[in-house]
Structure 1
Amino acid sequence: MSHIPVPILTIGLLLLSNVFMTFAWYGHLKFKTAPLVTVILVSWGIAFFEYVLQVPANRIGHGHFSAAQLKTIQEVLTLSVFAVFSVLYLKEPLGWNHALGFGFIALGAFFIFHKWS
């Protein structure tokens, strides 16, 4: 993996980890009749793979990115993955207000990553 640039590897791992975490947190919403204890245990199992990807991503990325930048990448990816998940998996459309709110978060990311002199 050392031949993959740190930003690409870090963001790729964080993206994959977010896919797992989104399913762990929200995938069970399509199975409301399943017992709560079952969905909790299944969610924990899915979340394990999120940690297997996220912890190395943060370790690899730290130094190239600050901790605040890593968290910002994580949040932007979380919202991006969730938006796709919400529309495609849950069949819940997102409105203009969601887009506007996500836009403000993206603006916040700009301020975090911009090099201020």
Structure 2
Amino acid sequence: MIPPSLLPIILLSMSNVFMTTAWYGHLKFTDRPLWLVILVSWGIAFFEYCLAVPANRYGSLVYDPAELKTMQEVITLIVFAIFSVVYLKEPLTINHAVGFGFIALGAFFVFKSPL
């Protein structure tokens, strides 16, 4: 059995793989018509929704909406960074690391008890 606090993290991670692929995977296929990549992206995004909606439903039993949204954004950045380097062959620079660091700092404050 997966702990209730971990289930939304797993589902959001899986959903973000689909969404990142839907949004950015077509960048390697610029020779394809735009209407076709839109349809393919919608098809891929369907699976993202099949994971993201339950992630938020189950997650709302453990986390508040701001925490869920923050979690989703941090996961999105992590998945995108990996996708960008591995699939798109784009380098991550120090500027990316600094920007992601500031976002992580913001996430820290969302999850921290009130100051």
Same fold (TM over 0.5): yes
1:95 corresponds to 2:102: no
Match of 2:52 among 33, 54, 60: 54
Please list every run of at least 4 consecutive aligned residues from structure 1 whose deviation after the TM superposition is greater than 6 angstroms: none
**What is the TM-score with the length of structure 1 in the denominator?**
0.96
Q: CA RMSD in A?
A: 0.7
In structure 1, runs of 5+ residues without a counterpart are none
2:67 and 2:52 mapped to 1: Cα distance? Answer: 14
| Aligned pairs (5 A) from 1:62-81 | 62-81=60-79
| 2:34 maps to which of 29, 36, 42 | 36
Number of matched residues?
A: 115
Deviations 1:47-96 (A, max 9, x none): 00000000000000003100000000000000000000000000000100
TM-score, normalised by the number of residues in structure 2: 0.98
Amino acid paired to 1:33: D
In structure 2, list runs of 5 or more residues that go unmatched.
none
| Deviation digits for residues 15-45 of structure 1 (CA, Å, limit 9, x no counterpart) | 0000000000000000000010000000000
